[in-house]
Amino acid sequence: MNASVTLLESSLPASVHLHVDIDAAHASAPILGTERAGSGTIVDSAGLILTVQYIVLGASGIQVTLLDGTTAPGEVVAQDFATGLAVVKVDGKRLPTARPTPSTVLEQGDEVFLLASAGDSARRVSTGAVSSLAPYDAYWEYRLERAITTTAMNPGLSGGAMFDRLGRMVGVVSLDLNEVGRFTLAIPVEYFLDHRDELLRHGRRTTRPPRAWVGVY
């Protein structure tokens, strides 16, 4: 029990709350709204925050709230539309960070915990096990060659971190899959780590071949 508490205490400071304003004219506004809230995780002490892309899509303003209640304006510096990740930047020095680690350290059945914002400086956590590391086809947005599904329920707002039992950040919580009996989906953090320089330099993946989409809504 003491080890679990220590692990959680070391992970909490890197968690942030995101309040996002969206221009009413943006194409996503009719479906996702003009005011959104989400979770994020500081992955670099200079102020880089990893979250899910749909929370900040079309953002005209972002307020970031740290665990101690401190607030700061944020800006979107990268979006990866193919994997659903986004990077938000706040000005800061020596901010507490998580330890992003490729999800290849995971195996099916491994214990994980999810950490998410419940609003401003409130945080919630849930625990579970890895149920799948297979590819995932989202029905409207993207296909992941590797995705993490877990029996842990998303405890708060999407965009929070998935940690392994050693306190390493292995994923970003994206979707609640309760309706299909698979609980929670997380995007492996290596989709950011493997392309970090490209994403931060260009704001997106420029080397990925373009692909066409067709659909009916």
Q: What is the DSSP track for 28-75?
A: THHHH-SEEEEEEEEEETTTEEEEEHHHHTTEEEEEEE-TTS-EEEEE
Using a 10 angstrom Cβ sphere, with 0-12 exposed, 13-18 middle and 19 or more buried, the burial of residue 164 is buried
Q: Is residue 53 a part of any domain in this protein?
A: yes
Return the pLDDT at 210: 77
pLDDT at 126 over 50: yes
Res 142 pLDDT > 80 = no
Distance (Å, whole) CA 96 – CA 26 = 33
Q: Do 55 and 134 have their domain in common?
A: no
Output the CA–CA distances (angstroms, integers) from residue 56 to 65, 73, 163, 185, 208, in the order listed: 15, 13, 23, 19, 22
Picking from 79, 65, 152, the residue whose alpha carbon sits closest to that of residue 115 is 152
Do 69 and 25 lie in one domain? The reply is yes
115 and 171 inside one domain: yes
Enumerate the H helices of the chain as residue ranges: 2-11, 29-32, 53-56, 190-193, 196-202
User: 157 is written with which tokens?
Assistant: 């707002």
CATH number at residue 84: 2.40.10.10
Q: What is the pLDDT of residue 178?
A: 67
Average pLDDT for 4-21? 91
Residue 203 resides in a domain: no
161, 78: one domain: no
Binned at pLDDT 50, 70 and 90, residue 100 comes out as very high
Q: Which residues span the domain enclosing 117?
A: 103-193
- 62 domain residue, yes or no: yes
Within a domain: residue 40? yes
Please identify, among 75, 96, 117, the residue that sits at the C-terminal boundary of a domain.
96
- Give residue-wise pLDDT tens across range 164-217: 999 999 999 998 876 555 589 999 999 999 999 999 999 999 998 877 767 666
Nearest to 42 by CA among 113, 115, 103: 115
Q: How many domains does the chain have?
A: 2
Per DSSP, the three-state class of 25 is: coil
Same-domain pairing of 129 and 181: yes
User: Average pLDDT, stretch 119-135?
Assistant: 93
Residue 84 backbone class (left: φ over 0; alpha: ψ -120 to 50; beta: rest): left
Q: Which of 96, 111, 143 is where one domain is finished?
A: 96
- Whether residue 74 is found in the same domain as residue 115: no
* pLDDT score of 133 more than 50: yes
Q: Which tens digits make up the pLDDT trace of 84-98? A: 999 999 997 789 999
Residue 180 lies in a domain: yes
Structure tokens at 116: 């998410």
Q: What is the pLDDT of residues 38-77, one digit of tens each?
A: 999 999 998 999 999 999 999 999 999 999 999 999 999 9
What pLDDT is stored for residue 139 in this prediction? 58
* Residue 117 dihedral angles phi and psi, to the nearest 5°: -75, 145
| pLDDT for the residue 57 | 94
In this structure, is residue 208 part of a structural domain?
no
Question: Rounded distance, CA 37 to CA 34, Å?
Answer: 10
